[in-house]
Amino acid sequence: MDDVVDALDAAAGTTCLVGAGGKKTTLYALADRLDRAVLTATVRIPIFDREVAAVRVTDDPVTAIEALRETDSSAGDDAFPLGLVPERERDDRYRGYDTAVVDELAAAHDGPVLVKADGARTRLLKAPDEREPQVPAGADRVIPVASVAAVGEPLTAETVHRPERVAAITGAELGDEITPEMVGHVLAEPRGGLKDVPPDATAIPLINAVDDDADETTARSVARVVHERADVPRVVLARMIAGEVVDVVE
């Protein structure tokens, strides 16, 4: 299972990315490999026009998808992967849709829908607050992401988004060295990576930035902790900057 689409079971339906340390690169890798993919968000997302064939800014994504379906099929396919967002908030980012709108979009589209459903301010690890993540009720799968590069760093705001929440989940103190056990605990925790996963959705944690043998050894330790703490079908070890799966730990 060396392909990211297969590893994340993302060939169809709605796939939501949450967590930190690789959400956007994973979304872009999936969009590049999938037929008729739509890339959207339920939270703010940086400008991603270069990662897709086109971005349409519209309050009515369902109508936009239906209009594409009515065009010549070859012309319609050339529009994908397609970004759909409701508003350009600033020069550097778009806003996201309400979760119910994304469910309506997914029901209207005949291809996969990829959703950025969480923010992390480019940190390597995070735990959500009470308003996060923003996962549509109809999501088919949720991919909690963490970067293996967090291991060995201090539990501070420079590395971790909402470090106080990670501390609360793991029992660590702010400033402590982040361990594989801490990262695995956060990924497997209903207050962490598994927060608000819909009952019928599948969670597939992804450990990113596995760039060498040492990283792989560390990532396998994280994956072991995830499997000890959560009922997930697999943990994916990846190098998403290159769109590569390193291994799948079942």
CATH of the domain at 95: 3.40.50
Q: Report percent pLDDT > 90 for the chain.
A: 93
CB 158 within 8 A of CB 164: no
What is the domain count for the chain?
A: 1
Which residues constitute the domain of residue 116?
4-249
Coil, strand or helix at 192: coil
pLDDT tens track for 94-149: 999 999 999 999 999 999 999 999 999 999 999 999 999 999 999 999 999 999 99
Q: How confident is the model at residue 221 (pLDDT cuts 50, 70, 90)?
A: very high
pLDDT tens track for 210-219: 999 999 999 9
